[in-house]
């Protein structure tokens, strides 16, 4: 009985002394916004509180997408499609900041997307397939 009690105590001490990473640790959160990468549709762009909208449901949030042609690249091919989205009064893939309208605020965010050259990155396992849900 005494041996069992000592073994139990030793086992508890051993488990308590294991580092947190032994159990997987906190989920990775590359952009540090509190949304774990596996749930983050823009895993390298910090967002506060809520996920970015994903109008075309491809697993890349609007802010890190802007592939309006749907060919997997973000380049000047997208630009001719922008006027049709401006002042639309509703969410479109060009509503980069997800406020429900495409306007100057969104246009100012486009150069960063053009520099990226591609959608993402997204941490969602289904990113790139439609619908990604």
Q: Which of 7, 69, 79, 130 binds Ca ion (CB under 5 A)?
A: 69
Q: Which of 52, 53, 54, 113 binds Ca ion (CB under 5 A)?
A: 54
Which tokens sit at 3? Answer: 């041996």
Which tokens sit at 55? Answer: 């109008």
Residue 64 C-beta-side C-alpha neighbours within 13 Å:
23
Q: How many CB atoms lie within 10 A of CB 32?
A: 7
Q: How far apart are CA 12 and CA 9, in angstroms?
A: 5
- Alpha-helical runs (H) found in 32-94: none
Q: Which of 40, 113, 120, 127 binds Ca ion (CB under 5 A)?
A: 40
Say whether residue 106 binds Ca ion (CB under 5 A).
Answer: yes
Choices 20-28, 50-58, 82-90, 109-117 (CB under 5 A): range interacting with Ca ion: 50-58
Say whether residue 95 binds Ca ion (CB under 5 A).
Answer: yes
Which residues in this chain contact Ca ion in the complex, by CB under 5 A? Answer: 29, 31, 33, 35, 40, 54, 56, 58, 60, 65, 67, 69, 71, 73, 95, 97, 99, 106
């Amino acid at each position: 009985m005494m041996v069992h009690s000592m073994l139990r105590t030793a086992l508890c001490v051993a488990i308590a002394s294991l580092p947190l990473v032994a159990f997987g640790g906190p989920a990775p959160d590359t952009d540090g916004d509190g949304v774990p990468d596996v749930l983050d549709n823009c895993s390298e762009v910090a967002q506060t509180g809520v996920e970015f909208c994903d109008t075309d449901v491809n697993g890349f949030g609007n802010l890190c997408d802007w592939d309006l042609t749907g060919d997997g690249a973000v380049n000047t091919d997208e630009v001719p499609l922008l006027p049709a989205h401006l002042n639309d009064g509703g969410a479109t893939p060009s509503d980069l900041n997800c406020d429900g309208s495409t306007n100057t605020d969104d246009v100012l965010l486009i150069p960063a997307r053009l520099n990226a050259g591609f959608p993402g990155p997204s941490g969602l396992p289904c990113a790139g397939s439609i619908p990604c849900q």
